[in-house]
Chains A and B, each alone.
Chain A
Amino acid sequence: MTPLSITHFTLTNALGCGKQASLEALRTGRSGLQPCDLENVDLATWIGRVDGLEEMPLEGRLADYDCRNNRLTQLGLQQDEFLPAVEQAVQRYGADRIGVFIGTSTSGIATTETAYRTRDDRGLPAEFTPRFTHNIASSSHFVRHSLGLNGAAIAISTACSSSAKVFAAAYRYIMAGVCDAAIVGGVDSLCLTTLYGFNALDLVSAEPCRPWDAQRNGINIGEGAGFALLEKPQSGDSCPSLIGYGESSDAHHMSTPHPEGAGARHAMQQALERAALETTDIDYVNLHGTATRSNDASEDSAVCGLFGDQTPCSSTKGFTGHTLGAAGITESIFALLCLQDGLLPQSLQTRQQDETLSANILLDPKQRALRHVLSNSFGFGGNNCSLIFGAAA
């Protein structure tokens, strides 16, 4: 496929605001996880929380969209000089030629939870406006409105692969000529639905999550936002690129992955084919690595079946928690930071690798020049997406 240049990107999560906070944490092994202190939650678990969202209401022309998810979106957009980069892109392409592709799993559902909690005999409070908050499209409409764009847009919601799939969608819209450049991103925020929902499935860990560890016992839920600007390559570009993507369905079970990871393997294979690369060309795999028993076992089978047991791998969920619909963009931007920095991040909190799992899991960070990084994102419904990013030429 024609590579797409990723000319600007930004990231906000429990590690801090802006990509430098994430890079510093990945280098030094600092986790953003903390014991769960979210209001109205009495679960013994750890979370990856972004500080201060409660005191950042959206105001003025953005006030209609006010909710935790869109506050996090706005905070994310304001980092790393991303807004001036978008402005320059508008000058170059026109506001109607820049597409917006946003992934989210639960959007602003926390607002609906609050409306239900505060309902009375007459029903939900009159000021409840789910089209601006809870609706899946709220996030993409908000980004489009906030950035003053009026081109094509899409809100993808395929659980935990949502904001990986935005890269594939943006590539296709640019190739089809629907837009000339794309803002891709993802945002998901902490809410009771996912905390108590994953808890009901017995998938929430009471400790910091331990991907690939023999003692792993579930996920920590995190929140995050990330955005990237994709453009057709120009000569002299000195930025990393999207060079491959693969999308597949397990067609197996709604919440349990295929035991041999057949769908995951299919997605990785497709990404390699599009990138015209062999497995030996991949220098690092950022695993989906949620730290549930079955997810890690399935992904291990898929990765080792395709790559063997030598390719360096890690899950970065121990840094951020599982940011669900934002996991794809979070780990894509980790991949870009790793390519730029020559960093192989450790699988934080993994103490002793499960003997039944064979992937080459990094227990310590390494520095080495990287050419190609693959990032995996898999979601409920058996929805898989793998992306390959290449270092600047």
Chain B
Amino acid sequence: MITLSVEKIGVVAQGINNWQEASALLQGEADYQGGELPPLKPSMLKPNERRRTTRTIKIALQAAEEALQGFTGSERLASVFSSSEGDLDIIDQICLALTEEGRPVSPTQFHNSVHNAPAGYWSIGAGARQGSSSLGGLNGSFAAGLMEAAVQSVVEQIPVLLVCYDQPPPELLKSFMPISEPFAVAMLLNGESDSPLARLNLNTRPDGSESQLSKPALEKLRQSAPSTRSLPMLQAIARHQSAEITLPYLPGLNLQVELQAC
């Protein structure tokens, strides 16, 4: 079993600008209404970098920035970025360019196509020089990222930033990838914490079914992307409720989160 604390959270979704709004929604009586995605303007990107980056990079960085507001220890901070599909707009444009005469692949798009592009821009923007891991795990991407961040934090005894993010695919890829909503969640995790939002005990287990949400529109949102699988955890944290949460992780293996409210 791995034990750690959630210190801060950042959330970006349609109709949800930040963790405070997510928290109010998850605590309240009303169901999710959707809405506009907030403008994606992470302040750590310089204007010229903002032009060269994509909606996928920006949504990840915006959530990361919120989770690190007021945090001052970035020289010790490691990071884990998890996304099932990475940047599908770029994959789409590169694959289209490869079907054209002369294969006019854009050099900027190519270096932005690496799965760790958001992590790279984040490390530049935040001046973060510690290790950074980028992962993919299909619908288990949030659980895989949480597990990796937790293991890093506990074994290396360092704070770890976890960011899990998705953007819906462009037209050609739509029916092949089950992502219908843009979403990003970031968490600042630490083994020990003076003022945690929640404490987590993590275990894997081969059985059980993934935790769901009782409100229909929120449950639909939970199923809309790999990163939205985090919502049952976010709901328990928002409601200050201790809970046993089962997250999809790998074929035949779930991640069991025993969440203690703080």
Contact = CB atoms under 8 A, between A and B. Distances in A.
Interface of A: 96, 105, 109, 112-113, 115-117, 119, 123-124, 128-131, 135-137, 141, 144-145, 150-159, 165, 168-169, 171-173, 175-178, 192-193, 196-202, 246-255, 262-263, 266, 379-383, 385
Contacts of B110: 193, 197-198, 200-201
B96 A154 contact: no
Interface stretch (B7-15, B119-127, B239-247): B119-127
A128 B177 CA distance: 11
A137 B129 contact: no
Contact of B251 (A123, A128, A141, A252): A141
B116 interface: yes
Nearest to A129: B176
30 contacts: A105-B114, A113-B98, A119-B172, A123-B171, A124-B172, A124-B176, A130-B177, A135-B84, A150-B206, A152-B250, A153-B144, A154-B144, A154-B147, A155-B135, A155-B144, A157-B116, A159-B114, A172-B151, A176-B2, A177-B1, A193-B94, A197-B94, A197-B105, A247-B130, A247-B133, A250-B129, A251-B123, A381-B119, A383-B120, A383-B134
Contact of B134 (A116, A156, A266): A156
A380 B111 contact: yes
Interface residues of B, number: 66
Contact of B107 (A130, A173, A201, A266): A201
Given A116-B99, A116-B172, A192-B98, A200 B253 contact: no
B208 to A, nearest CB: 14
A136 B86 contact: yes
Interface stretch (B18-26, B60-68, B152-160, B210-218): B152-160
Given A151-B253, A172-B156, 16 more contacts: A109-B91, A144-B251, A152-B204, A154-B137, A156-B134, A157-B135, A158-B119, A173-B151, A176-B151, A193-B95, A197-B94, A266-B129, A381-B117, A381-B120, A381-B134, A382-B124
Contacts of A131: 138, 177
B131 interface: yes
Given A154-B148, A380-B120, A175 B250 contact: no
B138 A116 contact: no
The 4 closest A-B pairs by CB, nearest first: A381-B120, A247-B131, A136-B136, A197-B110
Interface in B29-53: none
B193 interface: no
B106 A200 contact: yes
Nearest to B253: A150
A144 B249 CA distance: 13
A254 B117 contact: yes
B175 A123 contact: yes
Nearest to A258: B129
A177 B78 CA distance: 21
Contacts of B85: 135
B132 interface: yes
B105 A196 contact: yes
Interface of B: 1-2, 78, 84-86, 91, 94-99, 103-107, 110-117, 119-121, 123-124, 126-138, 140-141, 144, 147-148, 151-152, 154-156, 171-173, 175-177, 204, 206, 250-253
B136 A155 contact: yes
B252 A137 contact: no
B131 A135 contact: no
Contacts of B103: 192, 196
Contact of A201 (B111, B175, B253): B111
A178 B116 contact: no
A109 B88 CA distance: 12
Contacts of A116: 95-96, 98-99, 172
A173 B84 CA distance: 21
Q: Give the dominant DSSP class at A's interface.
A: mixed
Given A157-B136, A193-B113, A249 B129 contact: yes
A377 to B, nearest CB: 12
A260 to B, nearest CB: 13
Given A250-B129, A255-B111, A155 B137 contact: yes
Contact of A249 (B123, B152, B171): B123
Contacts of A155: 135-137, 144
A202 B172 CA distance: 29
Nearest to B250: A153
Contacts of B173: 124, 130
Contacts of B95: 112-113, 115-116, 193
Contact of B129 (A144, A157, A248, A253): A248
B147 A200 contact: no
Contacts of A117: 98-99
Contacts of B175: 123
A213 to B, nearest CB: 24
A201 B126 CA distance: 26
Given A124-B172, A379-B114, A251 B129 contact: yes
A252 B171 CA distance: 34
Contacts of B130: 247-249
Contacts of A382: 120, 123-124
Nearest to A153: B250
A3 B115 CA distance: 30
